[in-house]
Structure 1
């Protein structure tokens, strides 16, 4: 089985997600104690897609995160660089136009989308600031970016408990429910090393996004970051 490391070599990350594709969604539901579905709904609400809009869902994996946009009547393009994830997604959701693509070199024209969203995937991109600039490039003027990513709990006792869960409880649980438990060791490490809410907001601003803000979910275990492309 493949596992990625914190240098996030693209081929290793892609191979790791290929390994876990079949059980990925179910494993996430178990490891998040059911919170993953609530987080997906919060993303859909934050994007606020309406009929006629074109939405890019980056790091879409099997396409589960894209379904709310499709149900809203939007033209959604799920994009991921794991062929294993896309193949699994195509089997489950043949109605979705799943597309292979690298977040740092997106295969789309300038100003193609009304909104771009990425959930629990930016952390796995080796050059995530380059990805932020690419997302800006493909967004229409006035368009929106919504990032959903693991972050830093704001309440110290929760932060302590959460860190203990990540490093001690998550790997054994993953061993029972995942096809590649080593992938979830990487998951825990990458969450611990990820920038906190203000740091990520500052990176978004450096990449050119305006009106940057964030909202904490589940006490800051997850944060929704938002930005807009200047009109």
Structure 2
């Protein structure tokens, strides 16, 4: 198995990420032209983790996204369903409490976390709505969710150019730097087929989140959605 299909069977997606784990962070840096660092900084600011708060970083992969939360003094739990990603992450950051978990059946009690966040992983979950409800369940009343995900550029001419990059330029670039370039064909397709900003906001509201809002990063290539759990 070299790539997953868009019906997102969990075992296929997990296996795909196992295959790319070793060079995942490097590949993302190259394919995003370094923008992934800007996006991670925006996520950290939106989550606004504080000392002693508990933060769930879902689809954390190797925990590159978790480090900014840990640096604030928060207790961050990197969670992912790819054991390959978790193994690479644990080797790099042995002090973090890596946890294997499925986004649709999280291994945590109700009302556990002050903040929950997922970056570039929600579109890989087979049941998006169920995952959003699970995130709501494990969040404390008054807590917040921050979702960073690829989205739809707001300017139509740029959207056309971006789509061409995804489907034409991304695969050959991935072949040069990734251990499993075919996986990035799936990733490009999953980005293209993902709901736009208002549609994802509606899904958050349907899952119970309130005060849902979003802002675009990099012209809408990425959108940052945030919501709160009612006290």
**Above 0.5 in TM-score?**
yes
- In 2: Cα distance, 1:219 partner to 1:85 partner: 30
- In 1: Cα distance, 2:212 partner to 2:108 partner: 24
Query: C-alpha deviations, 1:33-59, integer Å up to 9, x for none?
Result: 000011001000000001010000000
Kindly report structure 1 stretches of 4+ aligned residues shifted beyond 6 Å.
none
SS at match of 2:143: strand
Query: What corresponds to 2:134 in structure 1?
Result: 134
SS at match of 1:64: coil
User: Does 2:193 align with 1:193?
Assistant: yes
User: Does 2:44 align with 1:66?
Assistant: no
SS at match of 1:68: helix
Query: What corresponds to 1:207 in structure 2?
Result: 207
Query: What corresponds to 1:75 in structure 2?
Result: 75
Query: C-alpha deviations, 1:149-206, integer Å up to 9, x for none?
Result: 0000001111011000000000000010000011000011000000000000001100
Query: What corresponds to 2:7 in structure 1?
Result: 7
Query: What corresponds to 2:45 in structure 1?
Result: 45
- In 1: Cα distance, 2:30 partner to 2:58 partner: 23
Query: What corresponds to 2:123 in structure 1?
Result: 123
- In 2: Cα distance, 1:22 partner to 1:210 partner: 38
- In 2: Cα distance, 1:177 partner to 1:157 partner: 29
**Contiguous gaps of at least 5 residues in structure 1:** none
Q: Following TM superposition, by how much is the alpha carbon of 1:2 offset from its aligned partner in structure 2, in angstroms?
A: 2.3
**Contiguous gaps of at least 5 residues in structure 2:** none
TM-score, normalised via structure 1 length: 0.99
User: Does 2:165 align with 1:173?
Assistant: no
SS at match of 1:142: strand
Query: What corresponds to 2:89 in structure 1?
Result: 89
Query: What corresponds to 2:22 in structure 1?
Result: 22
TM-score, normalised via structure 2 length: 0.99
